[in-house]
Copies of this chain bind each other. A is one copy, B any other.
């Protein structure tokens, strides 16, 4: 059995990886994220709007998940995992069985029908009702990272807009609006941390969008993207004060709309992709399910809710779209599937360059670095370099007879293309 290197968690031989790179543009050529992710073997299309995640893609997805998880834990979010299925009856209670845009209706056993959940208010509120009785049980927040479904008429743009996708959804439960407002502000800070860690913060705009009966606005986190399917109007006054604020085109009226933060009226139109959205739900869902509590005065009140979504698989697409060049992907270090891509230029495994490169690979893995080792010595240097570029691993290391003369390796940063020679010991030390 050809299998992982013994250091399987950190290191991987390219020859053992079952997904392969491809030179041909296979699919969704209009979308850079799908093109590079598919050609790099990160993802595979199962059908329109439905993708599977292969070893490299799953690693990136898990990195995004873990950043999100840490930031949700840091604001007291308790992780759970809600069901993908729920009953028609629960969705009828909120009036969304027929009204929700793009809800999949699944014929069940006998006369039953199930929803294939695109969001989880209809699941979490009945669960929470079992546990909340008094103000002492509030506030709290819980979240999940889970696969969701939407019956999109037109699935497109790779993993940016799918029929099946991975989301983080956080729900918060409060005794009053003030307490919700406080937590809502905390989530905004946590979201900023997430976008910062993803390397997207400087192109992410807090975008005002239509609210509901409970609040004037909801907020979206829109990431600038030339091919993004949303249109936003960026407040230039806010930007001049170092704030990234925008208005969604849905609620933008030319000549009338002012920036809710600065009051300014100068806007710049841009394309963007919605990576996250947050809502004050108020009693929209606690009322139909009768989620009450007894307050300090023993009066029965409805619980106040907030909900906070974030698209994990969509962010994978946004990252691929944002961090790429004509040669392929250019992952930021925090998200990359591996840190190093090591290439021995040798004719056989017993050559000094191969042995030295493999020893370096093993050393880096032992130092808890994550490395791909391109052991395909039967392939040309050019095609291996092209694969390293396509996969977008941050640092490429080449070991050849030539570099060995000075006991060095050639290091290339994928982002800048800068090449330098470095002593082996120095590489391991970082």
The 8 Å CB contact of A130, one of B44, B76, B104, B164, is B44
Q: Are B85 and A50 in contact (CB under 8 A)?
A: yes
Interface pairs (12), CB distance under 8 Å = A3-B75, A8-B74, A18-B78, A20-B137, A41-B131, A46-B87, A47-B85, A47-B87, A52-B83, A58-B80, A109-B151, A147-B147
Mark interface residues in A124-135 (1 if CB within 8 Å of B CB, else 0).
001110110000
Which of A4, A22, A137, A141 has the most chain B CB within a 10 Å cutoff? A4
Complex contacts, A173 vs chain B, CB 8 Å: 18
A293 at the interface (CB under 8 A from B): no
- 8 Å CB contact of A131 from B1, B18, B164: B18
Contacts of A17 in B (CB 8 A): 78
This chain: copies in complex: 2
Contacts of A182 in B (CB 8 A): 1
Residues of chain B contacted by A308 (CB below 8 angstroms):
none
Are A4 and B78 in contact, CB atoms less than 8 angstroms apart? Answer: yes
A153 to chain B, nearest CB (A): 6
Q: Is the CB of B142 within 8 A of A46?
A: no
Q: Say yes or no for A264: interface residue by CB 8 A criterion.
A: no
**Majority SS at the chain A contact face:** mixed
A51 CB contacts on chain B under 8 angstroms: 83
Quick check: A85 and B164 within 8 Å, CB to CB? yes
* Bound Cα distance A420, B346 (Å): 64
A186 near B1 with CB under 8 A, answer yes
Whether A260 is near chain B, meaning CB under 8 Å from some CB there, is: no
Say yes or no: is A226 at the interface (Cβ < 8 Å to chain B): no
Instruction: Tell me which residues across on chain B come within 8 A of A271, comparing CB atoms.
Output: none
A114 cross-chain contacts in B, Cβ below 8 A: 47
Q: Is A55 an interface residue (CB 8 A)?
A: yes
A73 at the interface (CB under 8 A from B): yes
A312, chain B: closest CB distance, angstroms: 11
In the assembled complex, which residues on chain B have CB atoms less than 8 Å from the CB atom of A139?
Answer: 1-2
The listed residue (B75, B76, B131) touching A19 by CB distance below 8 A is B131
Question: Given A18-B173, A41-B131, list of 8 further CB < 8 A pairs?
Answer: A4-B76, A8-B74, A44-B127, A46-B83, A46-B87, A47-B86, A53-B80, A109-B153
Q: Are A73 and B152 in contact (CB-based, < 8 A)?
A: no
Residues of A within 8 A of B (CB): 1-4, 8-9, 16-20, 22, 41, 44, 46-47, 50-55, 58, 61, 73-76, 78-87, 104-109, 114, 116, 123, 126-128, 130-131, 137-142, 147, 149, 151-153, 163-164, 173, 179, 182-183, 186
B81 to A52, Cβ gap below 8 A?
Answer: yes
9 shortest interchain CB distances as A-B pairs: A3-B76, A53-B81, A18-B140, A46-B83, A52-B82, A44-B127, A47-B87, A55-B78, A50-B83
| Chain B residues, Cβ within 8 Å of A1 | 75-76, 139-141, 179, 182-183, 186
With both chains docked as a complex, state the minimum distance between the C-beta of A203 and any C-beta of chain B, in angstroms: 27
Q: A21 — nearest CB in chain B belongs to which residue?
A: B131
Question: How many Å from the CB of A293 to the closest CB on chain B?
Answer: 13
Cα distance, A173 to B16, chains bound together (Å): 13
Given known contacts A41-B131, A46-B86, A186-B1, is B106 in contact with A80 (CB within 8 Å)? no
Residues of B within 8 A of A52 (CB): 80-83, 123, 127
- Shortest C-beta distance, A343 to chain B (Å), equals 19
CB distance from A178 to the nearest CB of B (A): 12
A75 to B61: give the CA distance in the assembly, Å: 23
Q: Which residues in B have their C-beta under 8 angstroms from that of A163?
A: 85, 108-109
Tell me which residues across on chain B come within 8 A of A153, comparing CB atoms: 109
Closest chain B residue, CB of each to CB of A108: B151
* A4 to B: closest C-beta gap in Å: 5
Among A114, A141, A163, residue most surrounded by chain B Cβ atoms (within 10 Å)? A114
Residue contact B164 to A83, C-beta cutoff 8 Å:
yes
Collect the chain B residues with CB atoms within 8 Å of residue A140's CB: 1-3, 16, 18
